[in-house]
Amino acid sequence: MDKSESTKIEMGESSKLERKLGKAPLLGSPSHAISSAVVPTKRAGNYKRGIAIFDLILRIAAAATSIGAAVGMATAGETLPFFTQFFQFEAGYDDLPTFTFFVIAMSIVVAYLVLSIPFSIVCIARSHVIVPRLLLIIFDTAIVTLTTSAAGASAAIVYLAHNGNQDANWLAFCNQFGDFCQTTSGAVVAAFITVVILLILIVLSAIALKRH
């Protein structure tokens, strides 16, 4: 009986202690400290899982826009029914080396984005693993540079095709090849959308790395 009484008193004390700890968590016992450390880790885990799911969605969107850009540019072509003094019958992406670079670069970007989807899924399944996330941020940065250089270079050429340049005596050919110009412009816009999505992906990855 004496033993059970002492147990009762102990329980009462511990519950009092717990109530006190609830108001002053900084002075908590070791066990309380552990339990309070577990809660933010779980929250951070959910937070990181949310970022990883958003990462996957954006990655699929980026793959879609880059496929659009690559296919759009590769299939852009126009055959004129007549012959003019300055231009040939046909216009295709392979007439301009910059557009060829664009098609090759965007194909690499598409391949990378498709291959990176499994890594993104690993980041969802194991949100605390940082090696795939670090690999993703490094390769994303390299790929965003490739995409931007292709998009920037093609934008310069598309601008020239639309407006020409009097000082260099380069004439615009969009009057003749309107459809070709429209398609290539669309491809360049799609490439810039890919760039923006990739930028968001990099920022998200950096935030996910920070919260580790």
Number of other CB atoms surrounding residue 148 within 10 Å:
17
Q: In this chain, which of 45, 97, 118, 178 binds a copy of itself, going by CB under 8 A? A: 97
Considering beta carbons, is residue 51 or 161 the nearer one to a copy of itself?
161
70 binds a copy of itself (CB under 8 A): no
Site pattern 73..92 for a copy of itself (x: CB under 8 A): -------------xxx--x-
The amino acid that residue 75 corresponds to is T
User: Which stretch of DSSP H or E encloses residue 92?
Assistant: strand 90-92
120, 137 Cβ separation under 8 angstroms: no
CA distances to 5, 15, 105, 180 from 8, rounded to whole Å, are: 5, 11, 74, 87
If binding means CB under 8 A, how many residues of this protein chain bind a copy of itself?
Answer: 47
Q: What are the beta bridge partners of residue 13?
A: none
Angle between helix 97-125 and 131-163 (nearest 10): 150
61 binds a copy of itself (CB under 8 A): no
Least Cβ distance, residue 44 to a copy of itself (angstroms): 13
Query: Which residues within the stretch 130-189 sit at the binding site for a copy of itself (CB under 8 A)?
Result: 130, 134, 137-138, 141-142, 144-145, 148-157, 159-161, 163, 165, 167-171, 173
54 binds a copy of itself (CB under 8 A): no
Choices 16-24, 36-44, 62-70, 95-103; region in contact with a copy of itself by CB under 8 A: 95-103
Q: In this chain, which of 70, 96, 103, 123 binds a copy of itself, going by CB under 8 A? A: 96
Residues for the chain: how many in total?
212
Report d(CA 62, CA 192) in Å as an integer. 10
Considering beta carbons, is residue 71 or 98 the nearer one to a copy of itself?
98
Sign of the C-alpha dihedral computed for residues 183, 188, 194 and 196 taken in this order: negative
207 binds a copy of itself (CB under 8 A): yes
CA distances to 14, 20, 41, 45 from 38, rounded to whole Å, are: 21, 20, 5, 10
How is residue 27 annotated by DSSP?
Answer: G
The amino acid that residue 52 corresponds to is A
- Per CB under 8 A, residues contacting a copy of itself are 86-88, 91, 95-98, 130, 134, 137-138, 141-142, 144-145, 148-157, 159-161, 163, 165, 167-171, 173, 195, 199, 202-203, 205-207, 209-210, 212
